[in-house]
Copies of this chain bind each other. A is one copy, B any other.
Amino acid sequence: MCNNGVVPTESSRVRLNETRDRILDVALDVLGENPDAGMGDIASAAGVVRRTVYGHFPSRLDLVRTLTERAVTEMTAVLTEVNASDAEADAAWAEFIARLWPVAHRYRVLLALRRGEYGEAIHGLLGPVDKLLADLVKRGQDTDVFAQHLPAGILSQVAYGVVFAIADSDLSNGTLGARAATITSLLMLGVPETRAIALVGDQP
């Protein structure tokens, strides 16, 4: 399909990338509503024929993997930046959730996709994000900012699991969802309610 080893024209390459990006964007929506959606569903939602999708992504796994890589890139960018600051761990967490929120909402499907066919592949790609999260929580526990009723690795998983769960609920969009997700995750990290509310107040 697409390219057979020949150098493409400038304009055609633009058209190609436009289609490719549109497929990726729309795939996120479609899979978000139904993680079991097929290539045909994605194709028609993108206003394109199934055959065309296979022109850009040789297999369904390739598509999902690309999507995941995208998500990992965006998330690690935010997370490393937040992690680098010398703020208290709870403040860092609050800022992280606030900035992650739009991304989390878009990529909420990945949580569902972690079980099932491509679970292993996705899990592998998400490894770096998990590690950064665990590091942040560990830092909070070491400085007595977060509770220690669970090991950092699990606590971080559960905490950002909650964020995605809220991203998947009725509150998904709007700032209300972001506030709810931040406060809830802070509470379960052991931050007192008054402190949690103060923290989200700082970043509306």
Residues on A facing B (Cβ under 8 Å): 34-36, 112, 115-117, 147, 149-150, 154, 157-158, 161-162, 165-166, 169-171, 179-180, 183-185, 187-190, 192-193, 197
Contact = CB atoms under 8 A, between A and B. Distances in A.
A187 B166 CA distance: 16
B150 A180 contact: yes
A116 B169 contact: no
Nearest to A180: B150
A196 to B, nearest CB: 8
Copies of this chain assembled into the complex: 2
Contacts of A117: 36
A61 to B, nearest CB: 15
A149 B184 contact: yes
Contacts of A188: 162, 184-185, 187-188
Nearest to A119: B34
Contacts of A171: 150, 154
A184 B187 CA distance: 9
A147 B200 CA distance: 15
Contacts of A115: 34-35, 112
